[in-house]
Amino acid sequence: MTTATLDRTERLLRTGPDGPADPGLSTHLALHGPLAVPRRDDRDWSHAVWREMAASGLTGRGGGGFPAAAKWDAVTRSGRRPLVVVNAMEGEPASAKDRALLAWSPHLVLDGAEVVAALSGAREIVVCVADDRDSSARVVERALAERARAGGGRPVSVVRPPARYVTGEESALVSWLTRGDARPALRVDKSVPLQVRRRPVLLHNAETLAQVALIVRHGAAWFRELGTSEAPGSTLVTVSGAVRTPGVFEVELGTPVAELVARVDPTGPVAGILLGGYGGAWLDPAHASVAYAPGPLAAAGATLGVGIVVVLATSSCGIAETARIARYMAGESAGQCGPCVFGLPAMADDLELLAAGRGDPAVVGRLEQRCDAVMGRGACRHPDGVVRLVRSALTVFADDLRVHTAGHPCTGHAAPTVLRFPVAGASRAGAA
């Protein structure tokens, strides 16, 4: 995987004069300059930072897209000092942006966490790195040691929750921090902060915090020089699939999806583009002129999600690849409600029949009914993401679907997958 920038965006993944920067503190300070964060509560500083962040329009880069300043406001209204949590779990198998950011700019992430802690009055920061990401954890620990030698800041600990898809969901992560059990919670009102041992939690994705550190240094107007008025700034995207130069890229929001795909050099004609991750949606290449930004993607039936783009060539089968994802997602359920326990495996079964050419129109109808039955009925958004993905596949790969339901699977159904799965997930998905 490469780590690079597209066009004039070089903010999160900034390089030094001699090429890629090392992740050390001295290089970080040379590239970005020092960041003055008060050690004690400073109301004037906090108000100034909050105003600047609100003006920036920064939204969370972990998939939810919630305005960062609004999240801070909800937590500070509680009147209690929160726990700041850095979510670097990256449970999406096709994503590598958190790993790239921590390898490239760990101090930018930690700067952002310090800013949020100072603004909210938090006295402690917890960095969550999955238990199969040893290299990322080591980078963070080295960065913390450097900061301690340079004068330190608030206490920061690194914890290692289990590497599962659902663990990165914020309520599941908070559940693990509280009880050691990473199960998502049903949240009717998301304006009510999550809690760990009666303390409100201020949780942000690693990239969101890196953006915070840049905005505090350079201001809201600078941040808005990139992107669109509705979706300002740059963002990190992991691009993979049938491309010659996969990697993690920093892109300006609003960049046409077609331009992003062209830059990574597809290996052949494109059949579909998966956007947002395994709980995202397939985009028809005919609609690839759409801007890579939340609003335009939503209008096209897709989603920005966690910054994932997977390119599928016509030599592959979209139905088979969707079946692999559905089987993996069924296995990654928290197992606490019917839509996941029963609905997702049944949907994967139907897709596998279709992928193998053993389905018929009745299977398609049953699959659509399952989607209706599952949507919106889970304790979290995990099953909803699978439904979105499946529904998009039935539309984008409609031509393939007709061939498969006639008992003649397309030639690509036996092609090796271009998707990424953990080792255990890959063996399960390979049965499709």
pLDDT digits (tens, 9 = 90+) for 222-247: 999 999 999 999 999 999 999 999 99
Q: Tell me the CATH class for 234-313.
A: alpha beta
Residue whose pair of structure tokens reads 């052949």 in the numeric block:
268
CA distances from 96 to 89, 100, 101, 372, 420 (A): 10, 6, 9, 32, 11
Question: If you average pLDDT over each of 55-69, 318-332, 403-417, which comes out highest?
Answer: 318-332
Sign of CA dihedral 96, 98, 103, 104: positive
**pLDDT tens, residue by residue, 348-362:** 999 999 999 887 889
Average pLDDT score over residue span 144-164: 92
Residue 398 makes CB contacts below 8 A (sequence gap 6+) with: none
Do the domains 2-223 and 234-313 sit in the same CATH topology, yes or no?
no
Distance CA 369, CA 346 (A): 11
Q: Please say whether the beta carbons of 93 and 278 come within 8 A.
A: yes
- Residue 189 confidence (pLDDT): 60
Sign of CA dihedral 313, 318, 320, 322: positive
Sign of CA dihedral 321, 326, 328, 329: positive
Distance CA 6, CA 187 (A): 37
- Residue 191 confidence (pLDDT): 64
Distance CA 393, CA 278 (A): 12
**pLDDT tens, residue by residue, 73-114:** 777 777 788 999 999 999 999 999 999 999 999 999 999 999
Distance CA 205, CA 218 (A): 20
Q: Please say whether the beta carbons of 81 and 122 come within 8 A.
A: yes
- Number of Cβ within 10 Å of residue 51's Cβ equals 12
- Residue 408 confidence (pLDDT): 86
CATH 3.40.50.1970, applies to 2-223: no
Domain boundaries, the chain: 2-223, 234-313, 318-429
CATH 3.65.10.10, applies to 318-429: no
Query: Helix, strand, coil shares of the chain as percentages rounded to 5?
Result: 45, 15, 40
